[in-house]
Amino acid sequence: MRQLASFLALGVLGVAIAGCETVVGDADTTSGSAGTMSSSTGSGDGVALSVVSYDRLSTIAQVPAGAGKTFLSVQVSLTNGTSAAISLILAAVAVESDAGVRYGAAVEGQTLTGACEANSSLVPGGTVKCTYAFRVPTDIVTTKLVYTDAPTSTEYSTDFVIEPCSLCNGDCVDLQTDIDNCGSCNHPCTGADPSCANAQCQSCEVSGSVDTCQHACETLYDCGLAVCGGAQNCPNFSLSEKSAFVGNASSGCVASCNGNPAIKSVVDPMDCKMTVESFKQIQASFPAACGP
C-alpha cells in the first residue's frame, strides 16, 4: 500500500556404454508436457533411479499408440550401486498405475533418441541415461517407475506421477492448460497473448476506453489486474484499491493524466501486457506500485 501511495503522490562420473548417454553428477527432475509429474530418486544401496524428463507421443516411428492410448517417452537416469553389472533390457523397466497395473517398455522406444541398446548393461558404480517408451491408456494415473534386476528378482522404484490426459485429434493433451484445446477439444484461446488456466481461456484484453482520463486510468488498473501468460500483470494490484489508484481531479492517476493527457495514448485495452510495460517506462513510480 505504501508503494501504491507513492504512485498516488506521483555426481557421479558416468561410465560409457554403447547406445547410452553417460552422466556426470546427479540427475534432477524436469517438467514434462501435457500433465503433471513428480519424481524422486530411489534411495539406498542397489540401483538408484530418477526420471530426468518425459513427453507424451501419439506415434513413434509412424507407429500409433492405438485407440485411447499414448506413448510415454521417459528419460531415466540409473546408477548401479550393486557389485555386479545390471541389464538395461526393455523387460527390466515398467511404469505402474495407481491401480497397481504395470506397463512394460515398448519396443518402439528403441528408435527414440537416447535409447540404450537392447543388450547393453551397466557396470558397478556406473551412471547412465536411457530413454524408454511405455504404451499406456490416456485415462490412467501413473505412480512410479520400476526397475527389476532379473538375476536377483530385486525391484527398485522411483515416484513417477502423471495425471490422465485427453485425446484431441490424435494428440494427448491437458485440457486444463492446452492453449489449442482449452476446456474441450478444438477450443483454442484467442486474443492478445492468450493462455489457458484451469480449463479457462485468459488473454491480455479488457473492456474499457481511453476517451477521458477517468476511463483511461480505470482501464490501466484493469490491465494491471488482468492475467496474461498465467500471471497477473501487476501483482501488487487488488480490486479493493482500484478507486484509490484511479483517484480524481486532485489526486491519483486522473490528476496525473489531466496534467499530461498523453498518458491516454499509452493505454490500450486490447493489449494489456504492452500497456503495463509502456506505463512502467513513462511513470517512474508505477513499477513499484505495479510490482515485479
Q: pLDDT tens digits for 236-278? A: 998 889 999 999 988 889 998 998 888 888 898 888 888 899 8
Question: So what's the pLDDT on residue 167?
Answer: 85
Instruction: Inform me whether the pLDDT recorded for 202 exceeds 80.
Output: no
Question: So what's the pLDDT on residue 192?
Answer: 62
**CA-based angle 85:89:95, to the nearest 5?**
110
274, with CB counted inside 10 A (0-12, 13-18, 19+), is middle
Domains of the chain in sequence order: 21-173 (2.60.40.1240), 205-290 (no CATH)
Q: Decide if 256 contacts 263 (C-beta within 8 A).
A: yes
Q: In this predicted structure, which of 37-46, 103-112, 223-232, 246-255 has the lowest mean pLDDT?
A: 37-46
Q: Decide if 148 contacts 155 (C-beta within 8 A).
A: yes
Global pTM value:
0.57
Averaged pLDDT score across all residues of the chain? 82
| Nearest-angstrom CA–CA distance, 114 and 129 | 7
Instruction: Inform me whether the pLDDT recorded for 3 exceeds 60.
Output: no
Residue (of 57, 67, 157, 148) closest to 109 by Cα position: 57
